[in-house]
Amino acid sequence: MKSKMKYFLLTLLVFVQFSCNDWLELIPPSGLIRDEFWKSKEDVEAVLMAAYESFGAMDRNLFLKGELRADLLQGDVNQSDDERNVAESNIYPANFFASWADFYKVVNYCNEVIKNAPEVKEIDKTFTDFQLRSLVSEAYFLRSLAYFYLVRLYRDVPLVLEPSESDDTDFYLPQSPENEVLEQIVSDLKANRDFAPTESFPTIQENKGRASKAAFDALLADIALWRFQYEEALTHIQKIEQNIEFELMPSSRWFQLFYPGNSLESIFEFQFDGNRNQRNGMFGATEQNAYQYDPSQKAVEMFGREYSKEIVRGEGATIGKIGDDDFIIWKYVGQSPDGLSVRAGAQQYSANWIIYRLADVLLMKAEALSQLDRYTEALLVINEIRSRANVQPVSLPFNKVAFEDAILEERALELAYEGKRWFDLLRMGRRNNFARKGKLIEIIVSNVPSTQKRILSAKLTNPSGWYLPVHKDEIERNKNLFQNPYYDF
Partner 1 sequence: MKRIRTVLIFTVALCSYFAAHAQEKTILRGRVLDKGDKTTIIGANVVEYDSEERVVNGTITNVNGDFVLQMTNPQNTVRVSVIGYKAQELEVDPTKTIVVELESADVALGEVTVTAEARTTGGLTNIEDRDRASSSVKVDLMDMQDVGVISAADALQGKVSGLDIISASGDPGSGSQLVIRGLSSMGNSEPLIVIDGIPQFRVTTDFDLSSADSEDISNLINIALQDIRSIEVLKDAASTAIYGSRGADGVLLIETKKGRMGKVQFDYQYKYNLNVQPPAIPMLNGDEYIMLQLEEWHNSQGAFDIPPEIAYDRDFVHFYNYSANTDWLREITQDGATHDHYFSISGGGEKTRYFTSFSYVDEEGTTISTRSRRFSSRINLDYFLSRKLLFQVKFNYTNNFRDNNVSIQGNHWRARNVREMAYIKAPNMSVWERDVNGNYTGEYFTPINSYQGDGVTYFNPVAVALLGMNDQTTNRLENTFMLQYRINDWLSFRETISFQYEGSKSKNYLPYNAIGADWLAWNVNKAEESNNLSNSIRTETQLTFSSPFENEDHSVSGALTWLTDQSGYEWMNLQGNKTPSVDIKDPAIDPQINWIGTGSGEDRLISGMGNINYKYLDRYLLQTILRADAHSSFGVNNRWGLFKGLSVGWRFSSEPFLSGTEFLGESMLRLSWGVSGRQPSDVYARFASYESTGTGSYILNPAIAPTSIQLNNLRWETITSWNAGLELNLFKERLYIEGDVYQKVTNDILFGGTRPEDYYKIPVSSGYDGLKFLNGGEMTNTGWELMIDARLVRTKDWLVSLNFNTSQNINRFNKLPENFNTERSTSIGNGEYPQIVMEGEPIGSFFGFRYLGVFASDADAVARDAEGNILRDGEGKPIPLQYADTYIFKGGDPIYEDVNHDGKIDLNDVVYIGDSNPDFIGGFGGNVRYKNFDFSVGFHYRIGFDIINGIALQTEGMNDRNNQSKATLRRWRIQGQDEEGMLPRAYMNHPANNLGSDRYVEKGDFLRLNNVKIGYELSKDLCNKLGVRRATFALSARKLVTFTRYTGQDPEIGQDASNPFWIGVDEARTPPPQIYTFSLGIGF
Q: Which of residues 8-47 bind partner 1 (CB under 8 A)?
A: 20-21, 23-34, 37, 42-43, 45-47
Identify whether the C-beta of residue 78 lies closer than 8 Å to the C-beta of residue 85: no
Residues near 102 by beta carbon (within 8 Å), at least 6 away in sequence? 54, 57, 58, 61
Query: How far apart (Å, rounded) are the C-alpha atoms in residues 308 and 244?
Result: 34
Among 66, 158, 334, 465, interactor with partner 1 by CB under 8 A: 158
Query: How far apart (Å, rounded) are the C-alpha atoms in residues 489 and 486?
Result: 8
Return the axis-axis angle of helices 437-445 and 421-434, rounded to nearest 10°. 150
Query: How far apart (Å, rounded) are the C-alpha atoms in residues 334 and 338?
Result: 8
Of 153-161, 179-187, 319-327, 416-424: span binding partner 1 (CB under 8 A): 153-161
Query: How far apart (Å, rounded) are the C-alpha atoms in residues 4 and 432?
Result: 88
Residue 168 or 306: the one with the smaller Cβ distance to partner 1 is 168
CB of 371 to partner 1, least distance (A): 34
Query: How far apart (Å, rounded) are the C-alpha atoms in residues 179 and 185?
Result: 10
DSSP 45-63: HHHHHHHHHHHHTTHHHHH
CB of 165 to partner 1, least distance (A): 6
Scan residues 391-450 and list those touching partner 1 (CB under 8 A).
none
Q: How many residues does the chain have?
A: 489
If one asks whether residue 172 binds partner 1 (CB under 8 A), the answer comes out as yes
If one asks whether residue 117 binds partner 1 (CB under 8 A), the answer comes out as no
If one asks whether residue 345 binds partner 1 (CB under 8 A), the answer comes out as no
Of 137-145, 166-174, 226-234, 373-381: span binding partner 1 (CB under 8 A): 166-174
CB of 231 to partner 1, least distance (A): 34
CB of 45 to partner 1, least distance (A): 6
Query: How far apart (Å, rounded) are the C-alpha atoms in residues 268 and 204?
Result: 11
Scan residues 465-484 and list those touching partner 1 (CB under 8 A).
471-474, 476-479, 481
Task: Identify any residues that bridge with 295 across adjacent strands, giving them in sequence order.
Answer: 73
Query: How far apart (Å, rounded) are the C-alpha atoms in residues 232 and 219?
Result: 12
Residue 157 or 369: the one with the smaller Cβ distance to partner 1 is 157
Identify whether the C-beta of residue 271 lies closer than 8 Å to the C-beta of residue 56: yes
Of 78-86, 273-281, 424-432, 456-464: span binding partner 1 (CB under 8 A): 273-281
Among 4, 81, 122, 166, interactor with partner 1 by CB under 8 A: 166
Scan residues 40-79 and list those touching partner 1 (CB under 8 A).
42-43, 45-47, 49-54, 56-57
If one asks whether residue 99 binds partner 1 (CB under 8 A), the answer comes out as yes
If one asks whether residue 173 binds partner 1 (CB under 8 A), the answer comes out as yes
If one asks whether residue 278 binds partner 1 (CB under 8 A), the answer comes out as yes
